[in-house]
C-alpha cells in the first residue's frame, strides 16, 4: 500500500476466491459495513490478479511477473512457499536484479517459523497488546486501540 501510495505500479496476487479482507467487513469484531472497507484501504492504488498458485499454469504467470517486477514481496510460510515455487532461488532465476522481500509472521527459525502469521496472531496476541483491548468490567474483547495509539503517536511528533 505504501509503495503504491508513492507511485509504484503494484500488482497484488490473490487466490481465485479473493483474500479474507474482501469479507472482513462481515466478520466480528470489525465494524459491520456493506463495503469491504479494510480491503479497499489496504489495496488502494494497486492492480490485482487472481491466480491459483497450486495450478500447473501458475508458474508461467509467476515467471512473467518476476521478469517484469523490480520488487517481489512474498508472505507465505516457507514450506508453502517452497511447494508453490516462490522461494528466492526459484523466483530470482527469472530476474537477477529482482529485490526479493521475505516476510514471515515468526521469523525464519524457531518452533513457529512454519506457521502463518497475521496481525491478530503474530502481533496483537503474542505481544500481549490484545489484552489491552478488553472492557475491564466484563473482561470481554473490546475494539482495537489502534486509533488511540495512532493519535498518541501523532501528538508526539515534532511540528515542522
In the chain, CATH 3.40.50.10540 covers 2-117
pLDDT at 73: 93
**Of 1-5, 95-99, 110-114, which range is least confident?**
110-114
Task: Please state the pTM of the whole predicted model.
Answer: 0.70
pLDDT band at 46 (very low <50, low <70, confident <90, very high): very high
Q: Is 103 helix (H, G, I), strand (E, B) or coil?
A: coil
Alpha helices in the chain (DSSP H): 2-5, 37-43, 58-68, 78-83, 88-92, 126-127, 146-156
pLDDT at 160: 45
Does pLDDT of 57 surpass 80?
Answer: yes
Reply yes or no on domain 2-117 having CATH 3.40.50.10540: yes
- The stretch 97-115 carries a mean pLDDT of 85
Exposed / middle / buried, residue 91 (Cβ in 10 Å: 0-12, 13-18, 19+): buried
Does pLDDT of 92 surpass 70?
Answer: yes
Does pLDDT of 140 surpass 80?
Answer: no
Which pairs count as long-range contacts for 148-153, CB under 8 Å and 24+ apart, including other chains? none
Most confident of 3-12, 72-81, 97-106: 3-12
**Of 1-10, 30-39, 139-148, which range is least confident?**
139-148
* Three cell numbers, residue 10: 503494484
Amino acid at each position: 500500500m505504501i509503495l503504491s501510495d508513492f507511485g509504484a505500479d503494484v500488482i497484488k496476487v490473490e487466490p481465485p476466491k479473493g483474500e479474507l479482507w474482501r469479507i472482513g467487513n462481515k466478520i466480528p469484531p470489525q465494524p459491520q459495513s456493506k463495503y469491504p472497507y479494510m480491503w479497499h484501504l489496504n489495496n488502494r492504488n494497486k492492480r490485482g490478479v487472481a491466480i491459483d498458485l497450486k495450478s500447473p499454469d501458475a508458474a508461467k504467470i509467476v515467471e512473467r511477473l518476476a521478469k517484469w517486477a523490480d520488487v517481489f514481496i512474498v508472505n507465505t510460510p516457507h514450506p508453502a512457499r517452497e511447494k508453490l515455487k516462490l522461494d528466492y532461488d526459484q523466483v530470482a532465476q527469472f530476474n537477477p536484479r529482482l529485490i526479493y522481500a521475505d516476510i514471515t509472521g515468526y521469523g525464519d527459525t524457531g518452533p513457529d517459523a512454519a506457521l502463518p502469521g497475521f496481525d491478530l496472531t503474530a502481533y496483537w496476541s503474542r505481544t500481549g497488546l490484545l489484552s489491552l483491548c478488553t472492557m475491564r468490567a466484563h473482561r470481554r474483547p473490546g475494539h482495537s486501540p489502534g486509533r488511540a495509539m495512532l493519535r498518541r503517536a501523532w501528538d508526539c511528533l515534532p511540528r515542522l
